[in-house]
Every structure is written in C-alpha cells, then in structure tokens.
Amino acid sequence: MKGLVSTALWLCLLIYSGQSSAKWFEDKQGIMGTNIHVELWSDSAQQGEAAIQAVMDEMQRINQLMSPYIESSELSKLNHQASAGFVPVSKELFELIALSVELAKETDGAFDITFASVGYLYNYRESQKPQQSQIAALLKAINYRHIRFNLTEQSVFFAHPNVKIDLGGIAKGHAVDNAIEILKKRGIKHALVTAGGDTKLLGDRLGKPWMVGIRDPRDKDKQAVVLPLADTALSTSGDYERYFEQDGKRYHHILSPKTGTSAKEVQSVSIIGQRSTLNDALSTAVFVLGVQKGMDLLNRTPGYDGIIVDNQRKLHYSNALVQ
Ligand code: ADP
Ligand code: MG
C-alpha cells in the first residue's frame, strides 16, 4: 500500500513537473531596421530559448545578406557592380529577385524593386527628399525589365547604368516565412513571428486564435481591426512607418514606380495569405495601386485577401472576406 501511494505520488509529480515547464517564451529585438517579436509555446526552457535564438539568428543572417546599408551585403555588391556586367549571387538572393520580378509583372509594375534607383535619394529620418529634377533624371532607371538573369550561372545584370534595387518590400516577409520553417523543424507547434509589419502564425494560441491587430493609420494606440487568426500570415504596409511632413505633405517610404514619389491613394493595406513573402510584396503593391486596382488584383489572386484603409479612413475588404 505504501509502495502504491508513493508510486502515485511520484507519477503526479512527474506529470505536474512535465506540465509546469511548458510555457510561453517571448523576445523582442531590433534587427533589419525594425522590431522583431517572437512568441512560442515550448515544453522546456532549453528548447524554447534555443528556438527564439534560432529565429533571431535567421533575421541577422538575412540582414547581412540583403541590407542596402551594409557595404558587404550581397545586395550592396549587386548595386555596385551589376550595371557593369553579370554578377553571380547566392541561390536565395537570386530566387528572391526573380520572384520580385514575377510580382512586378503580376502587379503591373506597382511592386518594383528598382524603385530604389530613385528611392535611395530619400532619407526619411533626416527629412530629406530629392529635387524634382533629380527624380526626372533617374526615373527611367525604375523598371523591373532592366533586371536580367542568367539561370545557368545564377547571375544578375542591370541593363541600365542607374539601376539600384532594394528588397525592403519583400525581405521581411521572406525572413518571417523562414523563421516559421525553422520553428517547425525544431518541433514547435504554436508560435507568432513578427518583423515590422509582417506577421506569421504557427498553429493557434492553445485552443484560441491569435488576435492580430491592424492599427489605425493615424493613431498608433488604436486598432482599426482585430482579426482572429491561426496557421496563416498577415502583412501591413502603411504610410506611417517611415515618413516626414513638409509643406503640408506626407513623404513616406512606399513609392509609386511611375512617379518616384510617395503613393497617395490609401493609408494602409493589410494582406492575409499563407506565404508571408507574398503578403509583404502584395501589401506594398496594393498600396501603390489604390482601392480599385488593388482590390481587382486581390480578387483575382486565389488565397490572398486584403483590407484597405483609404484616405477617408474607410475600410475596404476583398470579396472572400465579406462573402
Ligand atoms: P515595412 O514593413 O518596412 O513598412 P512595407 O511592406 O510597407 O514595409 O514596404 C515598404 C518598403 O518597401 C519600403 O521601405 C521600401 O524598401 C520598399 N518599397 C517602397 N516602394 C516600393 C515599390 N513600389 N515596390 C517595391 N518595393 C517598394
Ligand atoms: Mg510590403
């Protein structure tokens, strides 16, 4: 009898200790010029902390590869050399540039990574913008068709002397997709990974959905919409992330490739879909396209839906969200 009691007690302790060490782990860090937020559920402190570290390491790795501000990044190398001839790049960068060009075609040039040919003349922190004459001189360099690929050599060439590219509208989504894959491989079943405006959810929040907010574009303490989500991803592009005001105008970081100036049609765009890389690029594209053309694009893109906050602060939903 005594033996039975102690066995039962021992079992209880075992079960109790097994449950008590499972908990939510969380961390926030500033990487890639933005806020990275990871939350995950794990049975052990060792697994949970190592998984968070692996996500942060991945963010750092992608930053080193794709940042235009790091002289040694592959992207900087391309921007320095690719107008002179084909430059070999890593498979990862090659594929992301190729996908960006595909998306440029599908969005009628609204998403165009060569926007940077003019885009690098803006400095939002220092409230600096180019003169109209500078924009006019470089506008022809904005055109995704200038990007040429050599598939066998995995190399890239810019067929115009002033082309610069920037992956700010897609790299964070890519990083978030990679991060969730890393967590899955480590056996994590419930997680949230956010990089700036790009969020991806693995599983739910233990029987409940994750509640993901889309902020009011004109009040950071207010939510315009809160969505219950699980096993999906959401990206938001807004005119409030990086901007300055001058002469009563708002100069922000999403540029219309046609004009080389800030897109003015809407205040924010959120896209919901499985692949964060695509959500990221589509949110930027729809921002440039505006309500009508943006919704047309979403309504013909299966698996990707969106919510737009227009300039009158009115909400617009793509068809599948209101059916
Ligand atoms: P963030 O999460 O940084 O707010 P967004 O998804 O809203 O990013 O995209 C904005 C970023 O995309 C800009 O900072 C810039 O790097 C890039 N970008 C701006 N305009 C375009 C465009 N027309 N096509 C592709 N990328 C763009
Ligand atoms: Mg984007």
Residue 169 confidence (pLDDT): 98
The encoded tokens of residue 64 equal: 């080193």
- Render pLDDT for 55-70 as a digit per residue (tens, 0 to 9): 999 999 999 999 999 9
Mean pLDDT of the chain: 94
239 is in an annotated binding site: no
Contacts 24+ apart (CB under 8 A), 79-87: 79/116, 79/164, 79/165, 82/156, 82/157, 82/158, 82/163, 83/157, 83/158, 83/160, 83/161, 83/162, 83/163, 85/157, 86/148, 86/150, 86/153, 86/155, 86/156, 86/157, 87/155, 87/156, 87/157
Q: Is the pLDDT of residue 20 over 70?
A: no
Quote the DSSP letter at residue 107.
T
Q: Is the pLDDT of residue 1 over 50?
A: no
Instruction: Give yes or no for residue 144 CB within 6 A of ligand 1.
Output: no
Cα of 6 vs centre of ligand 1, distance in Å, is 63
Instruction: Give yes or no for residue 135 CB within 6 A of ligand 1.
Output: no
Q: Is the pLDDT of residue 14 over 70?
A: no
Identity at 281, one-letter amino acid code: A
Residue 195 confidence (pLDDT): 98
Cα of 291 vs centre of ligand 1, distance in Å, is 18
Residue 8 confidence (pLDDT): 53
Q: Which residues of 271-306 are buried (b: 16+ CB within 10 A; e: fewer)?
A: bbbebbbbbbbbbbbbbbbbbebbbebbeebeebbb
Mean pLDDT score, 246-268: 96
Mean pLDDT score, 14-31: 79
Tokens 């926030």 appear where? Answer: 28
Could you say which architecture CATH assigns to the domain 81-158? Answer: Orthogonal Bundle (1.10)
Instruction: Give yes or no for residue 283 CB within 6 A of ligand 1.
Output: yes
What is the domain partition of the chain in residue ranges?
A: 81-158
Mean pLDDT score, 187-195: 98
Q: Is the pLDDT of residue 304 over 70?
A: yes
Mean pLDDT score, 298-312: 98
Report residue 21's pLDDT band, with 50, 70 and 90 as the boundaries.
confident
- Render pLDDT for 120-176 as a digit per residue (tens, 0 to 9): 999 999 999 999 999 999 999 999 999 999 999 999 999 999 999 999 999 999 999
Which residues in the chain belong to E strands, given as ranges? 23-31, 34-42, 87-88, 147-150, 155-158, 191-195, 198-202, 210-216, 219-229, 233-238, 243-246, 249-252, 255-256, 261-262, 266-273, 305-310, 315-317
Q: Is the pLDDT of residue 7 over 60?
A: no
Residue 6 confidence (pLDDT): 54
Cα of 12 vs centre of ligand 1, distance in Å, is 54
Q: Is the pLDDT of residue 323 over 60?
A: yes
SS3 at position 267: strand
Mean pLDDT score, 260-274: 97
- Render pLDDT for 73-94 as a digit per residue (tens, 0 to 9): 999 999 999 999 999 999 999 9
SS3 at position 148: strand
Q: Are 96 and 170 in contact (CB under 8 A)?
A: yes
Give the Cα-Cα-Cα angle 89, 92, 96 (nearest 5 degrees): 95
The encoded tokens of residue 261 equal: 């100036």
Q: Nearest residue CA, atom 26 of ligand 1?
A: 169
SS3 at position 134: helix
Instruction: Give yes or no for residue 199 CB within 6 A of ligand 1.
Output: no
Instruction: Give yes or no for residue 67 CB within 6 A of ligand 1.
Output: no
SS3 at position 231: coil
pTM confidence score: 0.94
